Amino acid sequence: MAIKVRKLSYGLGASITGVDLRSPLDDATMADVRKAWLDHLVVVFPDQVLTPEQQIAFGKRFGPLDDHQAAPFYRHPEYPEIYLITNHKIGGRPSETKDTGRMWHSDHSFTTRPTMATMLYCREIPSVGGDTMLTNMYMAYESLSDAMKTVLDRLEAVHDVANYHANNPYFRDRDTGQLTEMKKLSPPVAQPVVRVHPETGRKALFVNEGTTTQFVGMTSEESRALLEFLFEHSVRPEFTYRHAWKVNDLLMWDNRCTMHKALADYTHDQPRHMHRLTVLGTPCGRSYEGDTPPR
């Protein structure tokens, strides 16, 4: 089966057509799909009418899937591999994921096994908005000066799920007890600031405004200026792609060399409903024991 790959932006992103993901792909086609994904970092498969079982079967071709034990509150009731990102009420209560992803982040960077690939499948989308932004972290690293690269290559940074949820109005304004539980399930970790991609060998920045709080060995105050520079630098327009969703799009990105953000460019008067799969990555980072100097 010959796939067709069309580049979508300067920085990253391509569409893949000529495949039907309802049926298993042969090994040669899978190799072509994986190459396109590694080359373009983000790929979209448009017009894929998939059941949860079919989405899960395709996801497993890339590796073992996460069952979301680190965030068990939002799993599909029948398929633990599927994480629901929705503004539909659940059990008569407002969804806790309706505003998720509103900060730039890389999935599960706050764990010692960050996500390799994320597959987001669009079931419902507002008539206007609901877009997702993605950025190329290879470019973010490669465009830095050699002196800055030398500094960053030696550093680790702290990633903490509590920082992400402190900026989510649902958790900030309500004491649900779930944030406390998530912090127990995912205590802070130290990750390399520059990550070497295990398949391509290229270096990518690995910090994000959602979960990165400081550099290891520095206070948050000492870290702030450099982190803010890196956060802003990483999302320069030429590094980014904005995906305007259509129902039955399956979007897949490489968390090892990208970040993403769900835009607040719509209201919840219309539904936005997504099924997300995440493919487990290789171990990366270490538990963080709070080894910063006293303030």
107 is annotated as an active-site residue? yes
Say if 291 falls within a structural domain.
no
| Coil vs helix vs strand at 147 | helix
105 is annotated as an active-site residue? yes
| Coil vs helix vs strand at 153 | helix
Domain extent for 269: 4-281
Say if 59 falls within a structural domain.
yes
Can you count the helices (H) and strands (E) in the chain? 8, 16
Q: Using CA atoms, how far apart are residues 189 and 210, in angstroms rounded to an integer?
A: 14
Say if 286 falls within a structural domain.
no
93 is annotated as an active-site residue? no
Say if 226 falls within a structural domain.
yes
What DSSP letter does each residue of 242-284 carry, written as one string? EE---TT-EEEEETTSEEEEE---S-TTS--EEEEEEEE----
How is residue 49 written in tokens?
Answer: 């009418």
Which of 32, 40, 66, 105 is flagged as catalytic?
A: 105
153 is annotated as an active-site residue? no
Say if 183 falls within a structural domain.
yes
Say if 108 falls within a structural domain.
yes
Say if 295 falls within a structural domain.
no
- How many separate domains does the chain show? 1
Give Cα separations from 83 to 4, 265, 290 (angstroms): 29, 22, 31
Which of 32, 66, 107, 254 is flagged as catalytic?
A: 107
CATH number at residue 268: 3.60.130.10
The neighbouring-strand residues paired with 120 are 251, 276
pLDDT digits over 118-148, tens only? 999 999 999 999 999 999 999 999 999 999 9
User: Residue 157 — very low, low, confident or very high, per pLDDT cuts 50/70/90?
Assistant: very high
Does this model's pTM top 0.95? My answer is no
Say if 265 falls within a structural domain.
yes
80 within 8 A of 65, measured Cβ to Cβ: no
pLDDT digits over 31-74, tens only? 999 999 999 999 999 999 999 999 999 999 999 999 887 666 78
